[in-house]
Structure 1
Amino acid sequence: MKALAEREIRGSFVNCTKGEASRIALPRDLAARPWDDLDFLGWRDPSTLDRAYLVAEHRDRLVGVSLRVAPPRPGILHRGMCSVCLTTHPGSGVTLMTGRKAGAAGRQGNSVGVYLCTDLACSLYVRGRKVPEPGGRFAESLTEEEQVARTRDKLAAFLDRLFD
């Protein structure tokens, strides 16, 4: 992914108003992000636990989506698997995130959900740049490039559903 500037990020959002996009708390470390290893820019809102944002190149344009994060289920011991990168995490390491659909469907309250790594570091897990808890990545016969392609395809499928 190419490095993005604040203006590009704010202008990319498709499921919120321009006013909402202008108030989004952007990551302060944009210059330090490992852009060459990212398939998307994802971050959690530091001021609230129930907001996350994702910006990706999709269908030849930059697309940003605002996501609601489901609250963690206290006292439940389990492992979850990210639907995008297929990394497993214990406890609350995988979270259901829902995005309001773009356009008229979103204004009517329709949304689409996906289970994602809570820290939105899918790209780094797939490339081995970030190591999950033990047992978090299964041994695969696919090459790293094939795993990256699969991750991008799964992300594109989620974003496509936001535009249906």
Structure 2
Amino acid sequence: MLPLTEDQVRAALVNASPDERDRMAVPLSFVLADWDHLDFLAWPDPDNRGRGYVVVEHEGVPTGVVVRAASGSRSRAAMCNICHTMQPGNQVSLFTARRAGEPGERADSVGTYICTDLGCHENVRLAAPLAPSEVRASVDRRIDGTRRRVEAFVERVVAPD
């Protein structure tokens, strides 16, 4: 990813209201981000439980979405649809994102199951399987797949009807 400032991240949020952009809290690690090794930037909002942010380069432009975790807990293990790792049920949540533009004004949204801590970027870099039945591809293939899946999720948020 190209290095971004906090203001650029705020401006990249395509499905956020001006108030939501103002309230966005960046993680403490933001100033230490190793931009050359980031496929995308994702973090839970430290001030608002259940809200998070995902920023990717979409068509060469930084594009971010606000995501919200559904309430409730799961008791069974689940697989994250972004990094494809098996996690205990309480570590995967259904996240939804209001669509950008007119669809979002009509309250349209998209959703997918994502690691609750939005730590997919790190999870795919683990070499050992997280679950006994989990089959792992090479780390490079997992990184590429994760990047493609997060980009596809953001594309669903920004795509017109």
Please tell me the residue identity of whatever aligns with 1:27: P
Q: Which amino acid aligns with 1:57?
A: E
Match of 1:147 among 139, 142, 145: 142
* Conservation of the 8 A alpha-carbon contact between 1:37 and 1:124: no
Tell me what 1:60 maps to: 60
Q: 1:68 to 1:28 in 2, by over 3 A?
A: same
Preserved CA contact (<8 Å) 1:37 1:123? no
Q: How does 1:86-97 map to 2 (within 5 A)?
A: 86-97=84-95
Taking structure 1 as the reference length, the TM-score comes to 0.87
User: Please, which of 100, 103, 118 is the counterpart of residue 101 of structure 2?
Assistant: 103
CA RMSD of aligned residues (A): 2.1
The change in CA–CA distance for 1:136 and 1:6 in structure 2 (over 3 A counts) is farther
Does residue 30 (structure 1) correspond to residue 30 (structure 2)? The answer is: yes
What is the CA distance between 1:163 and its match in structure 2? 2.1
In structure 1, runs of 5+ residues without a counterpart are none
Q: Detail structure 1 runs of 4+ shifted over 6 Å in the superposition.
A: none
SS state of the match for residue 29, structure 1? helix
User: TM-score with structure 2 length normalisation?
Assistant: 0.88
1:139 Cα offset (Å):
3.1
Q: Secondary structure at the match of 1:22?
A: helix
Structure 1 Cα separation of the partners of residues 65 and 108 of structure 2? 14
Q: Which runs of 5+ in 2 are unaligned?
A: none
Aligned residue number for residue 14 of structure 2:
14
Structure 1 counterpart of 2:107, one-letter code = G
Q: 1:67 to 1:119 in 2, by over 3 A?
A: same
Q: Which of 150, 156, 161 is 1:161 aligned to? A: 156
Per-residue CA distance 1:92-121 (angstroms, 9 max, x = gap):
111110000000000110000011111111
Other structure's SS at 2:26 match: coil
User: What is the identity, as a one-letter code, of the residue corresponding to 2:131?
Assistant: G
Equivalenced residue count is 159
2:134 counterpart letter in structure 1: F
**How do 1:33-48 residues align onto structure 2 when only pairs under 5 Å count?**
33-48=33-48
2: distance between equivalents of 1:102 and 1:41? 19
- The 1-side partners of 2:132 and 2:114 are apart by 13
- C-alpha displacement at 1:136, in angstroms? 7.7
* Partner of residue 2, structure 1: 2
Mean alpha-carbon deviation: is it higher for 94-103 or for 22-31? 22-31
Structure 1 CA distance, aligned partners of 2:104 and 2:132? 34
Q: Is the 8 A contact 1:38 1:124 kept in 2?
A: no
